[in-house]
Amino acid sequence: MNTNTKTTMLYNKGSLQNETLIDLYKRMLLPRMIEEKMLILLRQGKISKWFSGIGQEAISVGVTYSLNKDEYILPMHRNLGVFTTRDIPLNRLFSQWQGKANGFTKGRDRSFHFGTQEYNIIGMISHLGPQLGVADGIALANKLKNNNHACAVFCGDGGTSEGDFHEALNVASVWSLPVLFCIENNGYGLSTPTSEQYNCEHIADKGIGYGMESHIIDGNNILEVYTKVSELAESIRNNPRPILLEFKTFRMRGHEEASGTKYVPTELMDAWAVKDPLDNYREYLITNGILTNTIDEEFRNEIKNNINENLKATFEEDVISSTIEKELNDVYQKTEYKHVSENSETENIRLIDAISKGLKQAMEQNDSIVVMGQDVAEYGGVFKITEGFIELFGKERVRNTPICESAIVSAAYGLAINGMKAVMEMQFADFVSTGFNPIVNLLAKSHYRWNQKADVVIRMPCGAGVGAGPFHSQSNEAWFTKTPGLKVVYPAFPYDAKGLLTTAINDPNPVLFFEHKGLYRTIYQDVPTDYYTLPIGKASLLKEGKDVTIIAFGLALHWALETLKKDQNISADLIDLRSLQPLDTDTIFTSVKKTGKVIILQEDSLFGSLSGEISSLITENCFKYLDAPVKRVASLDTPIPFAGNLEKEYLPKHRFENELSELLAY
């Protein structure tokens, strides 16, 4: 043990070479000096915001230095040392913070809210917790690939209060995923002390409840961080399992600079100031003859010049420019639809069978597909879509999940990041509310923010008419058609369901695939036996007429068919949307311009629903062709009741015929 009376820490060099000791010092010095410069620029108004990691450099640098460069690391606000230790060029980092084109997000996001596959860094979002679930997915892909890779993800002490923290740790433990959960316990959330965040002595204690190995590490001691994390990373590469690491440290500046630190007792600031990781390590190196003041000064001058040169280049870089077309085109990853024609042999099957067969044939074609969801393995899912799959594909690819929708959506995104494909089953579409955040903030924004595909399909058993009540019956497609970056598909027939599901799985963008429970076992159709595809974004014109355009999807489409069958004197175009986002406006507008009257029938409640958007589009684009106001028929603006007579009154089926008659008579 080497000790130094001038420091407050004990450093154990062990077998480390002096070259490594010096390199660790330089790698801590770089983010410290960058930060000091950024704080000056902040005061000068040349940058807009800064989250300081001063005093925590040993954690970022030590953890990153411990991992191989081809292993993923998922940092947070205060982890500048992760980016610099991965040797990201400073001009690109500075451009990112300035919102310039040379950055990583084309000016669409700021600071450390970005990722880069080139450096195997996956950036965070402000919601913090989902990052942990993403690491689960990355680690699961590593495990399935059997590549002996570790993965490290960061979280602050405040973030451990989020549900995503508990979900991610539980999933990682149940699945024995090789993840290092690195918790930087720096004493405070924004201004909330840890004593008001959790009621146990150490965050590391939380790992015990999940059957997880956990360790407490002095986060200000670079050698302890590096040696311990190196040892544990090597261990989980060979024996996959999650480990919780609590790094004891302190946040010497505000949550962000505008917050200040007035809420922190002065004596606490003073106590941690003498534990500064850079100053103490410098003294240790100098005292032991590994570093000299002269060499240290040379390092600082070199870094200072490097920072200034790259800042100058960044400030001279043009303000970013774009066009409306570029911005819209980057919401989704471009994909060319690959049509696979159906074979001539068909079988008369139900909607549920078509979905099951489409999923099975897709998995046979692509062995990177992983199906995840509650009870999808041996039980086959509550609707039996995946019944028999475990015998065909094994438990590695057909995975039962704990009841934790948020973590599983995040893990599905992690699988996509690491080159695999996730098909997740929401047990009921209603339950998506507990996974809403990662869908709309991770999946939807991923490609637009940093050009990363979110190759995920989420299957959504939905709809009323089966007496399931307010928590198992919602038609909640409008929650997602509003969100740029998501695709939403809603087939009403077995033929469409199979072909659209295979296309959704081929699509690199996130797709929510709605499946009406009331149609699962009631609708039969002749469906090709082999694998085939159908284009997303193309509606189906089921009937042609001259007097009115009827637009519907899902179960409502069948209500419309019943009405037309009942009164065959009605001459109507009947459009099955099939795809809600993107929406086939060409088919809609062509029909409306021909008939002059349009009625939109949906199962969802009226206010704020998709029918409102369709109505607005028709009014804006086809107004001069209309012979009557656009009519919408929808469910009541109430939650869905359970009792059969109340549910019947809630749904618009019995009102549609009268509304259609009134429109035709207008």
Please give the Cα distance from 161 to 167 (Å, whole number).
11
Contact 652, 603 (CB under 8 A): yes
What residues form DSSP beta bridges with 591? none
Contact 2, 13 (CB under 8 A): yes
Angle, helices 57-66/277-287, rounded to nearest 10 degrees: 70
| SS3 state at 5 | coil
Please give the Cα distance from 397 to 289 (Å, whole number).
55
Please give the Cα distance from 478 to 635 (Å, whole number).
14
Please give the Cα distance from 530 to 569 (Å, whole number).
38
Please give the span between the terminal C-alpha atoms of the chain, in angstroms, as a whole number. 92
Q: Which residues contact 383 (CB under 8 A, 6 or more apart)?
A: 352, 461, 517, 520
Q: Tokens for 92?
A: 């690109």
User: Is 472 part of the annotated catalytic residue set?
Assistant: yes
Q: Tokens for 110?
A: 């700021």
Strands 487-489 and 524-528: unpaired
Q: Which of 113, 472, 516, 558 is catalytic?
A: 472
Contact 541, 591 (CB under 8 A): yes
Other Cβ atoms less than 10 A from the Cβ of 564: the count is: 19
| SS3 state at 386 | coil
| SS3 state at 188 | strand
User: Hey, which bits of 378-519 come out as E strands?
Assistant: 398-400, 421-425, 456-462, 487-489, 511-516
Contact 331, 484 (CB under 8 A): yes
Q: Which residues contact 147 (CB under 8 A, 6 or more apart)?
A: none
Kindly list the catalytic residues.
472
